[in-house]
A and B are shown apart, each in its own frame.
Chain A
Amino acid sequence: MSTRRIFARPARYAAIAPYLWMALFFLVPFGFVLKISLSQTAIAQPPYTPVFDLSEGWEAFKGAFEQLSLENYRLLISDNLYILSYLRSLVVAITSTLILLVIGYPIAYGMARLPQRWQGIAMILVIVPFWTSFLIRIYAWINILQHDGLLNRILLALHLVSKPVVWLSTDTAMYIGIVYSYLPFMILPLYATLAKMDRALLEAAEDLGASPRKAFWLVTFPLSLPGVGAGVLLCFIPIVGEFVIPDLLAGSNSLMIGQTLWLEFFTNKDWPVASAVAIALLLLLVPPLVLYDRLQRRQVEGRR
């Protein structure tokens, strides 16, 4: 009895650890951002009012609450700029996720069908780009896509174009950058589900009269849906908030929400509006996050 109690206590603390982590590094900062989003800008340090300060006395502290307002959120709804950049974020995220799926699925499928000893090598090849800094890889793309860059030189040499094509600062460049950066996140979950699939199921399907193509659509694809779901959400969610890639590769005439947020914060020094944008972005991402969680849970249950 007593020994069990001795061991039970650290175990209980260990169970608290993730909650503590979440509270400290998510909930508390989230509280700050939420509070700032309800404040107004001010030319001061920090650049917003009200500021909660217990040293000013209890009455002042209570009075600060009354100064909070939803004004910034009203601005988000009334100004086209914000709605348009939210919409653009969604469009970019959906489009690039679809492209990722179309490119990533065949790669993952091919990997899963490789002989066992080649699969590990293929996996390393997918992960290897992570060994170079993300920013450096995006800058490399700038180099490749610029006026006298590698791509244009190849196209000219092959006489596919007669004069250099403008790639940089276009949506095409942005999509290239996003698809390139996120491809491993699409491939890996897909590969994981495809690799553990029993080959005998395909043989059974063919034995029962399904052509290899039919067998793929009737057996392989439906059984890989959990992997498709995981890959899609793993790409979609961060792409919605993507800042660096559109900022470096896309043109400046339409902004994704991450860029708008950056502008509000660093250029306009409007912390409250930037915070409101961040909170709204978070709300936008709640439904797909819940969906992802459900899929994960169903997969765990399905395995039992």
Chain B
Amino acid sequence: MPLLRIEGVTKRFGNFTAVNQLSLDIRAGEFFALLGPSGCGKTTLLRMLAGFETPDEGRLLLAGRDIAQVMPHERPVNMMFQNYALFPHLSVRDNIAFGLRRAGMARGEIAARVAEMVALVKLEGMEKRKPDQLSGGQRQRVALARSLARRPQVLLLDEPLAALDKKLRESTQAELMELQRRLGMTFIIVTHDQEEAMTMASRIGVMDTGRLAQVATPRDLYEAPASRWVAEFVGDVNLFEGQVISREQGRLKVTTREAGIITVTEPRQPVTKEIVTVAIRPEKIKLSRRGLASSADALQAINRFEGEVAEINYLGGLTAYRIRLDNGAVVRSVMANTARLDVDGYGSSERVAAWFAPDDGVVLEQ
């Protein structure tokens, strides 16, 4: 039995269905991310878990108990709010102690727990400060300490790092993961930042228009997206639509308008449709100079297209190319800059061959 079972939950606001017949299981100790574009219903789902919204249909089972109708102050979950929602009239200490006092803990116990939380988020010496005397990063820590103080069964985090700058966000991501592992608590984070979700979460649920498009580990989400939409939403991708013309020895041949015939490995789930989309991540498309490809490469390179470099974007660690194929289609390729000196780089308008291995293409039926 999972710690949290979301069962056929629907939430409507007037005519708008924010969450639509959504089901999801979350195990104890998981770091789960709800990822999606704004308006996809991820925040509404989180707010239903916290109790600020009531589902119109479905059940929310926390450790077997349906909490869908339970008031927020009676739920064993806590939330870290997007803009922290620290009480401006209370000190750091009183903010952290707020939930403990409501739980009717003894004075001494409260003091001990507050001290423990302050140490956990490294805010020693700041106990008497008011929120407006803290930096953004410190406020974020107070909010975290406050939401952890009651030791909730599930901690909900609503875009917890959105207000921090990039450097601070990265170090805080690492701290959050470390904290989650150490406490063994269940975290559910809502974010629109896929890098953040990929970095922190053990599993990601991608949401689109109130439904879960896919629930998978970060790697599966990227390498085996379930649909065109997921492939395009998570990371960058080249998509080729075409018709299946043959299947033999675990290989599918697909004839596409943009790139001619593409050969890909047949997925484990047999393809049932005639019209499919082949998705290839840009870093899986390799470039080589015409005729310069070694024989070993050429052997593997069943999918080989001629074209010329249309655009070069140097990004530091990577360089992104746009290759205009001779038949007019444009494919994106990303290559790691593994050497400091660019002796072998491709120039603008240079003739190149773009190729990828059959294993690197993903066949999508929707």
Give the B-binding residues of A (Cβ under 8 A).
198, 200-201, 203-212, 214-215, 218-219, 222-223, 302
Contacts and interface: CB of A to CB of B under 8 A. Distances in A.
B79 to A, nearest CB: 5
A218 B102 CA distance: 11
B102 A208 contact: yes
B153 to A, nearest CB: 14
B85 interface: yes
Given A209-B103, A210-B102, A219 B87 contact: yes
A204 B87 contact: yes
B52 interface: yes
Contacts of A214: 73, 102
Nearest to A225: B89
Given A200-B81, A207-B50, 6 more contacts: A206-B72, A207-B73, A208-B99, A209-B73, A212-B73, A215-B73
Interface in B69-99: 71-74, 78-79, 81-83, 85-89, 98-99
A302 B81 CA distance: 22
Contacts of B73: 206-212, 214-215
B141 interface: no
Contacts of B52: 203, 206
Given A200-B81, A203-B52, A209 B87 contact: no
A198 to B, nearest CB: 7
Interface in B340-358: none
Nearest to B72: A206
A268 B217 CA distance: 93
A205 B89 contact: no
Interface in B31-69: 50-52
Contact of A223 (B78, B81, B82, B88): B88
A201 B82 CA distance: 11
Contacts of A207: 50-51, 72-73, 78-79, 147
14 contacts: A198-B83, A203-B72, A203-B81, A204-B81, A204-B86, A207-B72, A207-B73, A207-B78, A207-B79, A208-B99, A208-B146, A209-B103, A214-B73, A223-B89
B139 interface: no
B92 to A, nearest CB: 15
B71 A201 contact: no
Nearest to B75: A207
Contacts of B81: 200, 203-204
B332 interface: no
A219 to B, nearest CB: 6
B11 interface: no
A208 B88 contact: no
Nearest to A200: B85
Contact of B85 (A204, A210, A222): A204
Nearest to B99: A208
Contacts of A302: 132
B79 A209 contact: no
B85 A201 contact: yes
Most buried by A among B50, B72, B88, B150: B72
Contact of B102 (A200, A209, A222): A209
A201 B87 contact: yes
A96 B146 CA distance: 42
A201 B89 CA distance: 11
A208 B132 CA distance: 21
A222 B83 contact: no
Interface string B131-147: 01000000000000011
Contacts of B147: 207-208
A268 to B, nearest CB: 52
B85 A206 contact: no
